């Protein structure tokens, strides 16, 4: 039975919600996590790629949520050339259905409560302050009281809107995505692939992440501002017909990835946003699982401290923003400037970058080396990226 | 603007770009509140399932 009141109510049981819940509950806060769906991590709107190092601090390694180990990434240029980047087992493809459930278990073990099939519909205000969450559960409208709301409601980010935050994304800060989970895939099981090009995937890329034998996630994300005439599914279908006509699609999901640098305002009296809801995805790669967990730990810790002190004001909660800016927030802005450049790059530039990668011997491959070689191979591009980097630093200082 | 329920995957992508908070998400259905909608067409443009139809102002 759920109680009438909690210190903290978290909306959404994705990686952001369950990690925030765990770290808040661990320090003694009473926490309820509510989730609209019947099960965390379902449907899987995700390519499921992460780095081993990224998830290590949050969960003990267990092969039951690992679908594949990745040793190399193959980049495909618009002119059909390939280049390999090696990372020797440092990449993983998850079974997110199991992974997300496992993160929920960890939250529950720390003392958080879970309420599934509960759709938050609004915030309750008392004397102008947030005092609870309205939701629909088992056909009834209900309200639960709390001192702090954490919006971990993913790309939709409606919780923030209810609190007056401007979470609506510009069209060029959203990737619109389609993914097929296929069987009959004959590619290597330890290599993922990325395809670039204006005719292939404008403003984004096509990915292939192999899972178990013969199964793979093949998906596409294109920038929202380039999706008017032709949508992501049309691009992906053309690609599949050309490159992988033999595979069978078992599962189709649609989804959106926020590729903004972050949000101006994601904390206020009695409320914080975390994960996709706070636009904490890496805008360059579209990866958001690890980012969401990192932010959620910070938010959860600040939530617990707020409960201990009985202070839920913006001036107390803003510690979360300070911590995030130190940890990743500043890198986000650099990544965002780079995304802006990459999104507008022509095919010639992509061809050149892949050529540069090709010339680095396998045993000498590192991102630093790639950067050095790129400087030599395409000084103009590198100058632009460097400028983007500097500009982002200046912007950061201003904020 | 109208969401074709049979095509919609309840993925929330449209919600993330709507400038008018006009999109309602229920457990099994997403719909548009035409009283709030300003017919900007952003949702229609980004919907990956092409499940939104209607004229843009
Ligand atoms: C096609 C695609 C591929 C991706 N591939 C990768 C990848 O390979 N690697 C990577 O790191 N990231 C990837 N991402 C991004 C990644 O999926 C997200 O960044 C990550 O899931 C964010 O976690 P979250 O907890 O913030 O949000 P989510 O995982 O989206 O969780 C939000 C939860 O909130 C619930 N919710 C929403 N509104 C309400 C409400 N009103 N009431 C109750 N519950 C609610 C939802 O049902 C959902 O369960 C991909 C995304 C997409 C769309
Ligand atoms: S973007 Fe399209 S598929 Fe996704 S919820 Fe909106 S209408 Fe449905
Ligand atoms: S047309 Fe514009 S205002 Fe109307 S629902 Fe779509 S995004 Fe919102």
Closest C-alpha to B57, from B25, B30, B31, B19: B19
Yes or no, beta carbons of B26 and A119 under 8 Å apart: yes
What pTM did the predictor assign?
0.94
Query: With an 8 Å Cβ cutoff, is B28 touching chain A?
Result: no
Judge whether B21 and B55 are in contact, CB under 8 Å.
no
> Does A64 reside within a domain?
no
Q: What is the CATH number of the domain that holds A303?
A: 3.50.50.60
ipTM score of the complex? 0.97
Cα of A157 to nearest chain B Cα, Å: 7
Q: Is B56 on the interface with A (CB under 8 A)?
A: no
- C-alpha span between B10 and B15 (Å, rounded): 10
Whether A146 maps to a domain, the answer reads: yes
Q: Is pLDDT of A395 > 80?
A: no
Closest residue in A to B42 (Cα–Cα): A171
Contact A362/A84 with Cβ under 8 angstroms? Answer: yes
Number of domains in chain A: 1
Nearest Cβ partner of B12 from A178, A228, A256? A256
pLDDT tens digits along A152-200:
999 999 999 999 999 999 999 999 999 999 999 999 999 999 999 999 9
Q: What is the pLDDT of residues A279-294, one digit of tens each?
A: 999 999 999 999 999 9
Distances (CA, A) of A359 to A84, A86, A166, A373: 10, 13, 45, 9
Would you call A158 and B18 a contact, using CB atoms and an 8 Å cutoff? no
Separation of first and last alpha carbons in chain B: 11
Chain B residues in contact with A224 by the CB 8 A cut-off are 17, 42, 45-46
A195 falls within a domain? no
In a domain, A159, yes or no: yes
Q: Please indicate, yes or no, if residue A11 is contained in any of the structural domains.
A: yes
Q: Which domain, by its residues, includes A121?
A: 5-46+97-169+263-332
Question: How many whole angstroms from its chain centre is CA A240?
Answer: 25
Is there a contact between B11 and A167 if contact means CB atoms under 8 Å apart? no
What pLDDT digit, counting tens, does each position of B9-49 carry? Answer: 999 999 999 999 999 999 889 999 999 999 999 999 999 99
Nearest partner of A292 among A4, A23, A8, A1, judged by Cα: A23
Query: Is residue A41 domain-resident?
Result: yes
Spatial neighbors of A82 by CB under 8 A, at least 6 apart, are A74, A75, A76, A354, A358
Name the phi and psi angles at A92, rounded to 5: -130, 150
- Rounded Cα gap, residues B16 and A237, in angstroms: 25
DSSP lists the bridge partners of residue A272 as A150, A267
Instruction: Tell me whether residue A385 is in a domain.
Output: no
Residue A295 lies in a domain: yes
Buried b (16+ CB within 10 A) or exposed e, A230-268: ebbbebbeebbeebbeebeeeebbbbbbbbbbbbeebbb
Across A58-66, average pLDDT: 95
Q: Give A27's pLDDT tier (boundaries 50, 70, 90).
A: very high
In angstroms, rounded to a whole number, what is the distance separating the alpha carbons of residues A200 and A347?
10
pLDDT above 90 for A344? no
């Amino acid at each position: 039975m759920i109680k009438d009141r909690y210190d903290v109510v978290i909306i959404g049981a994705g990686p952001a919600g369950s990690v925030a819940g765990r770290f808040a509950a661990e320090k003694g806060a009473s926490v309820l996590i509510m989730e609209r769906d019947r099960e965390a991590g379902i449907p899987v709107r995700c390519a499921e790629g992460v780095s081993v190092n990224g998830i290590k601090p949050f969960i003990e390694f267990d092969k039951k949520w690992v679908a594949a180990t990745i040793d190399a990434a193959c980049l495909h240029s618009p002119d059909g050339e390939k280049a390999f980047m090696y990372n020797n087992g440092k990449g993983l493809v998850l079974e997110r259905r199991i992974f997300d459930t496992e993160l929920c278990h960890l939250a529950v073990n720390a003392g958080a409560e879970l309420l599934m099939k509960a759709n938050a519909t609004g915030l309750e205000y008392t004397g102008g302050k947030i005092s609870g969450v309205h939701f629909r559960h088992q056909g009834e409208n209900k309200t639960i009281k709390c001192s702090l709301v954490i919006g971990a409601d993913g790309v939709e980010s409606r919780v923030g809107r209810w609190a007056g935050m401007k979470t609506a994304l510009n069209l060029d800060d959203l990737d619109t995505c389609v993914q097929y989970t296929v069987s009959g895939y004959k590619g290597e099981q330890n290599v993922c692939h990325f395809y670039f090009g204006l005719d292939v995937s404008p403003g984004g890329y096509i990915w292939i992440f192999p899972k178990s034998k013969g199964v793979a996630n093949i998906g596409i994300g294109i920038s929202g501002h380039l999706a008017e005439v032709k949508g992501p599914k049309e691009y992906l279908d053309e690609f599949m017909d050309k490159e992988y006509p033999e595979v069978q699609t078992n599962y189709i999901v649609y989804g959106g990835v926020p590729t903004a640098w972050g949000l101006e305002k994601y904390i206020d009296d009695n409320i914080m946003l975390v994960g996709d809801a706070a636009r904490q995805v890496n805008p360059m790669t579209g990866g958001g699982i690890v980012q969401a967990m990192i932010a959620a730990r910070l938010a959860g810790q600040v939530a617990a401290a707020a409960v201990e002190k009985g202070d839920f004001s913006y001036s107390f909660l803003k510690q979360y923003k300070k911590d995030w800016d130190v940890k990743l927030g500043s890198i986000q802005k650099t990544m965002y400037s780079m995304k802006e450049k990459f999104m507008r790059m022509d095919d010639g530039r992509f061809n050149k970058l892949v050529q540069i990668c090709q010339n680095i011997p396998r045993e000498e491959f590192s991102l630093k080396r790639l950067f050095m070689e790129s400087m030599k191979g395409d000084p103009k591009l590198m100058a632009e990226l460097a400028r983007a980097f500097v500009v982002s630093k200046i912007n950061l200082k201003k904020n | 603007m109208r969401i074709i329920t049979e095509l919609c995957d309840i993925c929330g992508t449209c919600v993330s770009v709507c400038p008018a908070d006009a999109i309602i998400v229920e457990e099994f259905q997403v719909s548009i509140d035409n009283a709030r909608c300003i017919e900007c067409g952003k949702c229609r443009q980004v919907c990956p399932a092409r499940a939104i139809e209607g004229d843009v102002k």
